[in-house]
């Protein structure tokens, strides 16, 4: 089964994607997309009934530490290196003016 991606299909995809393509880009994408579809068709001919799906080709496992509760910083320790504080909180500069509506 040969599915050529023609100019009309590339133009339709560009329209749906809101892309403006030049004439040379349309021709280039038509050729490239046809090659991709041809390659996928070739892959689809492989017999994979007894092949187990996998996420990675190597037996990779995440190495995680045990999730154990432990003490957190005190308020004074957390604020020790802060450039500016106010009433026990981090003080940060305003990023919105009063007229922003936020």
CATH number of the domain within which 31 lies: 1.10.20
The span from the CA of 32 to the CA of 11, in Å, is: 14
pLDDT < 50: residue spans in the chain = none
Whether pTM exceeds 0.75: no
How far CA 39 is from CA of 3, 33, 59, 74, in Å, comes to 11, 10, 28, 60
- pLDDT number for residue 100: 65
Structure tokens at 32: 């490239």
- pLDDT number for residue 26: 96
Residue 27: which domain range? 7-44
Identify whether 75 is part of a domain: no
The DSSP symbol for 86 reads E
Number of domains the chain contains: 1
The span from the CA of 77 to the CA of 67, in Å, is: 23
- pLDDT number for residue 101: 64
- pLDDT per residue over 32-57, tens digit each? 999 999 999 999 999 988 988 888 88
């Amino acid at each position: 089964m040969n599915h050529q991606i023609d100019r009309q299909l590339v133009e339709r995809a560009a329209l749906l994607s809101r892309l403006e393509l030049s004439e040379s880009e349309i021709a280039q994408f038509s050729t490239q997309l046809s090659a991709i579809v041809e390659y996928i068709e070739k892959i689809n001919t492989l017999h994979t009934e007894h092949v187990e799906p996998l996420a990675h080709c190597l037996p990779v496992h995440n190495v995680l530490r045990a999730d154990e509760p432990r003490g957190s910083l005190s308020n004074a320790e957390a604020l020790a290196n802060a450039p500016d504080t106010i009433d026990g909180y981090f003080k940060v500069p305003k990023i919105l003016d009063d007229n922003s509506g936020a």
